[in-house]
Amino acid sequence: MSFTLPGLLVALALLAPNALLLVIRPTTGIPRTKDAGLLFTILERAGQVGCLVLLTLSGARGVDGWLVGVLIVVAGYWALWGRYLARRRFDDLYAPLGPLPIPMAVLPVLAFGLAAIWAASWWLGIAVVLLAVGHLANSWAVYRQLSTPTATHPGR
């Protein structure tokens, strides 16, 4: 394993939109929600760090169908961030896309999964599994709370 610019660029493409929340806050306020629990949060964080570091260290293969798949999924993820930016509603971060619930959680996991295949990295694949379990469980917990009529929605 060694540093690769393509892996870093893919990792940054998936991480960069999340930084928007630091400067472009939702206009509707952030409701009080709970994640799926400490275990899932630990798995999510371990998966996030593992995916970012391992992709940066293992994404050295050339352009192929797997990389094209990663780029298509990243483009879809960015489009969903565009949906959020257009309205700046917290709910848009968890809103379904057609039959796909929590697409803003599913697409980055899918992109990292395709990147693991592209990079031919079992280690990255393991990190993706950790990320998937933690991130999808936590996002699903928030989504379920937002979709119940009793959810608290300050600022709406």
d(CA 81, CA 13): 12
What is the 3 state secondary structure string of the chain?
Answer: CCCCHHHHHHHHHHHHHHHHHHHCCCCCCCCCCCCCCHHHHHHHHHHHHHHHHHHHHHCCCCCCHHHHHHHHHHHHHHHHHHHHHHHCCHHHHCCCECCECCHHHHHHHHHHHHHHHHHCCHHHHHHHHHHHHHHHHHHHHHHHHHCCCCCCCCCC
User: Residue 20 domain-assigned?
Assistant: no
Residue 80 lies in domain: 5-15+35-146
User: Residue 51 domain-assigned?
Assistant: yes
User: Residue 89 domain-assigned?
Assistant: yes
User: Residue 119 domain-assigned?
Assistant: yes
Give per-residue pLDDT as tens, 59-93: 667 889 999 999 999 999 999 999 999 999 999 99
User: Residue 53 domain-assigned?
Assistant: yes
User: Residue 154 domain-assigned?
Assistant: no
Give per-residue pLDDT as tens, 20-67: 999 999 998 789 999 999 999 999 999 999 999 999 998 667 889 999
Q: How many domains does the structure of the chain reveal?
A: 1
